[in-house]
Every structure is written in C-alpha cells, then in structure tokens.
Amino acid sequence: MRWTQTLLTTLRDAPAEAEIASHQLLLRAGLARKLTSGLYTFLPLGLRALRKVERIVREEMDRAGGLEILMPALQPPDLWEKSGRIQAAEDVLFHVKDHQDRRWILGPTHEEVVTSLVAGEVQSYRQLPRTLYQIQTKYRDEIRPRFGLMRAREFIMKDAYSFDTDETAAKKSYGAMVGAYRRIFERVGLDALQVEADTGVMGGASSHEFCVVAEIGEGELVTEEGGTYAAAIEKAEGKPAERSGVGGIMEKFPTPGIRTIADLEKKHGVLAQDQVKTLVFTNGKETILVLVRGDDEAQETKVGKVLGAGFRAAVDTEIKEAMGASPGSLGAVASTLAGKKVTVVADFALRGQTGMTTGANDNGFHFKGVDVERDLKIDTWADVRKVRQGDLSSAGKKLNVSRGIEVGHAFLLGTKYSVALEAKFLDPQGKQQPAVMGCYGIGVTRTLQAVIEVHQDKDGIRWPAAVAPYTVMLVTLDLADPAVQSATDAVIASLEKAGIDYLWDDRDERPGVKFKDADLLGFPWRVTIGAKSVAKGGVEVKCRKTGAMEMIPPAEVGSWVQNKLKS
Ligand code: ATP
Ligand code: MG
C-alpha cells in the first residue's frame, strides 16, 4: 500500500481530549477518529490492526473448540425480564423504540440471547458440551466514556458461552477458555495477569479477570510478592499490619469539634489504626453500620455483597435520625445503641482488638479503651475492608496493589441463565437438566488500545509484529533517482514474495518528516531506500523496538524480515 493512496493523516500534537498516551497515539497515528464521546471510527490502518487482533482471538477460540456464531445486537427486553437482570443492568442499557412504540435493547452482552438459542437447539446430553462465541459490537451507556477505545459506548467484544452437562464438565470448558485467553494475550504482546474476580451482576460461582498492569488502568489488582495469589481489589483478601492494643476499661472523653479519623489523630494523638471507623448504610427503612479499622477503607463491592441489594450510604439527616448523633461521633458501643434499630457488620480486622477508640453517638464525645468484642454490638463479621499495599496474604507474603486494565473476564455461571431461560437437556436417564454455563469476554478494541499503551515510547508506538497495521514501513528518499527507483522495486518484490505487508511512504516529504512519522506509526521495521546506501548496494533496515540498524541487499529484505518474524 502506498501512503499517497490510503487515508492517513498523522497529527504532530495530541488533541486536547486525549488524556492518556495510547489514546493520543491512536489519534496521532491516524488509526481512529472520534465521532462523538465514546464513539470511534476505525481508519484503514487502525482497522488492519484490529483485524489482526480479531484473527488471533478467532484462531485461539477455534483451537479451544469454540464454535463461531453471530447474534443480533438488537435484543427483545422480555429476555432480560426473564433472566431477572433488567433492573441490575439498567444503568448501562441503551433502549430504542420502533415505530410501533415497542422497546428494544442494544445488547451490552449476550447471555440471554445465547441461552435462549441453546434452549431451542440442544435437546440431549449428546449435544453437549458446546462453546459458542462471537466477535461483535456491544453497546453500553457508560456514565463516563473515556480514554478512547478503553471505555467506549460502542465497542467490539469477543464473547463466548459454554454449555455443559454438569459442574465438573463446566470447569473443564472454563479451563479451556482460560487457556485460550492466556495464548491470545501472549500472542498480541500483552502480559495479562489472571486474577480472581468478583462475580458482580453476572452472578455465578467463580470468576477471573485478565488484567494488564498499567498506571492508567481503571481497576486495581492485588498480587502476592513471590507467590501466586492474584485478585481484583473487589475480591482480594489481606491482613493489615498487626496493631498492639492494651486492654482495660472503657472511658468516655470529650472530643469537641472532631469530625474525622485524621482530626482525632491530630488533636488527641489517637492513631488511625487504633480507631474504629463507623459507616452508616440504609435502604430507606433499615439501618446497617459497617465498622472497619480507622486506617482502613471499606471496599464498596464487598460491602454491597454483605448488605444486599437496595442499600446505600445514608445522608446526614438519616444518620442523625437513626443514630442520634452526627458523623464524626458515631460508634457501635452496645450501651449507646440501646433502643436504636441498627444492625452492625464488623470487619474481620477488628476481631479481638482492644484499646480502641470509637464515637459515643453523642456529638463531641468518644470512648477509649474499647474492647471490640466486649463493648461493641456486632451482629456479623465479614471481610469488608479494601486491601492495602503491604498487607499480608494468607500465606504471610507481602501484597502489592497495582492498577490494571481489564482486557478479559471469565465467569463460571452455573445454571442461573439456563434455569431462567429454560436451556434444558435430557440426561442419559431421560431426566431434564439445566445446562451448566460459563461466559467469557474479551474487549477486542480495548485490547488493541492496551497494546498501544504498553508498547510505546516518546516517539510513538512500538507495535508487536503480530498486530501491527503493517509489518514494514518502506521509506523512499530521493524518489527521482533511477537507482533508488529500481532498488524500491526490488525491495517491494522481495516483500511481496515473502508475504510481508508494508506501507510505502511515497510522499514527496523531507526525510525528517518521514522518519518522524515512521517512528510515530511504529511498525516493527523501517526500510529506508536512499541514493547513498543504494550506491553501496544496500538498503537500511531499522528495528523500531531496539533501534538496531542493518544494511541489507534490496532483494533480500523480504526473506530477512521473514526470518526475524520466525525467531
Ligand atoms: P469494566 O469493569 O471495565 O467496566 P466490565 O467488567 O463491565 O468492564 P465485562 O462485562 O466483563 O466488562 O465485559 C468483558 C470485557 O469487555 C471487559 O473485560 C473489557 O475488556 C471489555 N469492555 C467492557 N466495557 C467496555 C467499554 N465500555 N469499552 C470497551 N471495552 C469494554
Ligand atoms: Mg468485567
């Protein structure tokens, strides 16, 4: 392909809207253009890279036994009523209306559609297991679309769904998919960690996310130093550093004007780790207190799981009414809760702690010398704290917290959807059983941008060969020189013979401009054909990743690149 014949405009500066490197490079390298917030058009080069990612995904899905199908993006809402998910998913659903005023959903995912399909197609255990997948456009009304393709309203996902006769078989299908994921991410050049994840809205028994560690990642993940434990922050468990409390009697003391944990530490010298943080939740009727150590944060997802649907943080007036005091002076000391209708959930890290300080439910007063198990009213113990850097794992190893981009997600779903949508089969005894399901998503467009985020330097992208828009950038200088022209012909012939794709920068531009663009576009190799080197019988091949240069005879460029690709 010639530069002058494709649709490619590079940008010297990043558009103001692009906050992160990969988003800037996506636009600067002419791979994609924004239509409006969260909606992008793929330009020819971007689409080439995307197709290469898709091809790898497809090959590995097929290799793992997946069967490709293609389902409609438009879905009837009654399927979502049947699965019981319509409320929980409402926040991200795009609704459309047809001319008869009927409502439709633009699919954010396809569990409902695929399960109803299988309900019709599969009758017998002999037809199982089956794993169906598609590579298709998804729609999600994200509150805050951002970072280009990373969080878009419309994006391409590979979604796969496994159907098995029982739990054991389902785990095997799950294992095959997870294995395919590992190969996919490795092939596209991503070092993706497989982390234990929360099952969230999907429901189901077990779940893993695949995350690429990156500063700009929107999720947090926890890894064990020198160990194998890895989990998403919503699910991660850890132990904070031990504190030593001294037992004794509980005493009320005045703390006028104290509103926060930090205030109490500063003005009264009570370390945050020696305080109890009291958070108030309500569903409009009931009040639940969640207690964590003062230096800990409550983890929203964990709290949500313990509290159940419908609970939210209480506002000041609700707190005052339920507790008789304001934030800053709240606590769960049993004597102060007498007559109040509240349930108390305490984090495991508070178990057995003595010498703690907590609010007295009396504005401007706290208790010290608190023995958590002796003095507080606790109804339930639970893991509700957010793991912190330096916590210890259950194996006693140090935990690190990093940011990550979630590129893939796998769930063992069980029978939630097959029961609701009647995907049943006859077992060998002739009994009807619901299929045991798994679902598996890879954000194909997000993965593409994650590749750019990871593989770049100050000059531009450094594509892994497997997904580069083109493998070679051919830069011709001295276009009018007949010797350069024939060397260019020879290089092109050798590339074509070797089946290497290339973009030929045939623009009438200064060398500096061409080199800058070659670095920005970042194909694995740049081949420069100029009068000087051609006179010496060679062309200059430069590796984008290492910067290493070699002189190669024009007719050998194709086989040289081919060999490099193999090694
Ligand atoms: P996130 O937590 O980032 O919102 P999710 O957990 O809601 O993602 P899943 O339902 O697990 O996403 O979807 C499978 C995959 O689809 C994700 O792992 C991610 O790679 C991709 N994905 C999800 N939402 C988006 C989006 N808005 N834009 C681009 N890719 C997305
Ligand atoms: Mg997910």
Instruction: Indicate whether residue 155 lines ligand 1 (CB < 6 A).
Output: yes
Instruction: Indicate whether residue 192 lines ligand 1 (CB < 6 A).
Output: no
User: Which atom from ligand 1 is nearest to the alpha carbon of 145?
Assistant: 27
At residue 260, does pLDDT exceed 70? yes
pLDDT at 199: 80
CA 374 – CA 367 distance, rounded (Å): 13
Ligand minimally distant from the alpha carbon of residue 450: 1
Instruction: From 546, 544, 444, select the one nearest 185 (Cα to Cα).
Output: 444
Instruction: Indicate whether residue 234 lines ligand 1 (CB < 6 A).
Output: no
Nearest CA to ligand 1 atom 25: 151
Ligand minimally distant from the alpha carbon of residue 441: 1
Nearest CA to ligand 1 atom 19: 443
pLDDT at 518: 98
Instruction: Indicate whether residue 140 lines ligand 1 (CB < 6 A).
Output: yes
DSSP state of 4: G
At residue 266, does pLDDT exceed 60? yes
Instruction: Indicate whether residue 407 lines ligand 1 (CB < 6 A).
Output: yes
Instruction: From 410, 485, 468, 428, select the one nearest 171 (Cα to Cα).
Output: 410
409: CA distance to ligand 2 center in Å?
Answer: 5
Amino acid, res. 131:
T
426: CA distance to ligand 2 center in Å?
Answer: 32
Read off the tokens for 234: 């919503």
- The 3-class SS string of 184-232 reads HHHHCCCCEEEEECCCHHHCCCEEEEEEEECCCCCEEEEEECCCCCEEE
DSSP sequence for 358-372:
EE-SSTTEEEEEE-H
Q: What is the best residue among 111, 446, 449, 451 to mutate for testing ligand 1's pocket, by most ligand atoms within 8 Å of CB?
A: 446
**Are residues 460 and 22 in contact, defined by beta-carbon separation less than 8 angstroms?**
no
At residue 202, does pLDDT exceed 60? no
Burial class (CB in 10 A: 0-12, 13-18, 19+), 103: exposed
Sign of CA pseudo-dihedral 366, 370, 373, 374: negative
User: Which atom from ligand 1 is nearest to the alpha carbon of 202?
Assistant: 10
450: CA distance to ligand 1 center in Å?
Answer: 13
pLDDT at 558: 98
Read off the tokens for 74: 């438009």
| C-beta atoms surrounding 333 within 10 Å | 21
CA 298 – CA 345 distance, rounded (Å): 11
DSSP sequence for 259-293:
-SHHHHHHHH---GGGBEEEEEEESSS-EEEEEEE
Instruction: Indicate whether residue 157 lines ligand 1 (CB < 6 A).
Output: yes
pTM for the whole thing? 0.93
Angle between helices 444-454 and 21-28 (to 10 degrees): 100
CA 509 – CA 106 distance, rounded (Å): 46
Instruction: From 150, 156, 166, select the one nearest 133 (Cα to Cα).
Output: 156
CA 483 – CA 494 distance, rounded (Å): 17
pLDDT band per the 50, 70, 90 thresholds, residue 159:
very high
User: Which atom from ligand 1 is nearest to the alpha carbon of 149?
Assistant: 29
Instruction: Indicate whether residue 295 lines ligand 1 (CB < 6 A).
Output: no
Cα end-to-end distance, the chain, whole Å: 26
Residues 6+ apart with CB under 8 A from 373: 351, 352
pLDDT digits (tens, 9 = 90+) for 12-44: 999 998 999 999 999 999 999 999 999 999 999
Amino acid, res. 231:
A
CA 154 – CA 149 distance, rounded (Å): 9
pLDDT, average across residues 357-365 = 97
Q: Between β-strands 130-139 and 154-164, what pairing exists: parallel, antiparallel or unpaired?
A: antiparallel
**Are residues 216 and 453 in contact, defined by beta-carbon separation less than 8 angstroms?**
yes
CA 87 – CA 273 distance, rounded (Å): 39
**Are residues 294 and 261 in contact, defined by beta-carbon separation less than 8 angstroms?**
yes
pLDDT at 205: 75
210: CA distance to ligand 1 center in Å?
Answer: 11
Read off the tokens for 366: 């706290």
Nearest CA to ligand 1 atom 18: 408
At residue 201, does pLDDT exceed 70? no
Instruction: Indicate whether residue 109 lines ligand 1 (CB < 6 A).
Output: yes
Please state the φ and ψ torsions of residue 36, each to the nearest 5 degrees. Answer: -160, 175
pLDDT digits (tens, 9 = 90+) for 96-152: 999 999 999 999 999 999 999 999 999 999 999 999 999 999 999 999 999 999 999
pLDDT band per the 50, 70, 90 thresholds, residue 204:
low
CA 362 centroid distance within chain: 44
Nearest CA to ligand 1 atom 31: 443
User: Which atom from ligand 1 is nearest to the alpha carbon of 210?
Assistant: 18
Instruction: Indicate whether residue 142 lines ligand 1 (CB < 6 A).
Output: yes
CA 350 – CA 73 distance, rounded (Å): 48
123: CA distance to ligand 1 center in Å?
Answer: 32
Instruction: From 425, 527, 346, 452, select the one nearest 164 (Cα to Cα).
Output: 425
Extended strands (E) in 324-428: 342-347, 356-359, 365-370, 380-382, 399-414, 424-426
3-state helix, strand, coil in the chain (%, to 5): 35, 30, 35
129 preceded by a cis bond (ω within 30 of 0): yes
At residue 203, does pLDDT exceed 70? no
406: CA distance to ligand 2 center in Å?
Answer: 7
| C-beta atoms surrounding 215 within 10 Å | 11
443: CA distance to ligand 1 center in Å?
Answer: 6
pLDDT, average across residues 88-92 = 92
CA 528 – CA 391 distance, rounded (Å): 53
Q: What is the mean pLDDT of the chain?
A: 96
Instruction: Indicate whether residue 110 lines ligand 1 (CB < 6 A).
Output: no
Instruction: Indicate whether residue 409 lines ligand 1 (CB < 6 A).
Output: yes
**Are residues 415 and 111 in contact, defined by beta-carbon separation less than 8 angstroms?**
no
Ligand minimally distant from the alpha carbon of residue 109: 1
Nearest CA to ligand 1 atom 23: 443
CA distance to 90, 98, 142, per residue, from 103 (Å): 13, 7, 20
Nearest CA to ligand 1 atom 3: 406
pLDDT digits (tens, 9 = 90+) for 375-385: 999 999 999 99
pLDDT digits (tens, 9 = 90+) for 295-352: 999 999 999 999 998 899 999 999 999 999 999 999 999 999 999 999 999 999 999 9
User: Which atom from ligand 1 is nearest to the alpha carbon of 151?
Assistant: 28
Instruction: Indicate whether residue 141 lines ligand 1 (CB < 6 A).
Output: no
Instruction: From 464, 463, 485, select the one nearest 476 (Cα to Cα).
Output: 485
pLDDT digits (tens, 9 = 90+) for 273-293: 999 999 999 999 999 999 999
Extended strands (E) in 43-128: 66-68, 74-75, 94-97, 103-106
Please state the φ and ψ torsions of residue 408, each to the nearest 5 degrees. Answer: -150, 160
Based on its alpha-carbon atoms, the radius of gyration of the chain, rounded to whole angstroms, reads 30
Instruction: Indicate whether residue 152 lines ligand 1 (CB < 6 A).
Output: yes
Instruction: Indicate whether residue 448 lines ligand 1 (CB < 6 A).
Output: no
CA 399 – CA 237 distance, rounded (Å): 10
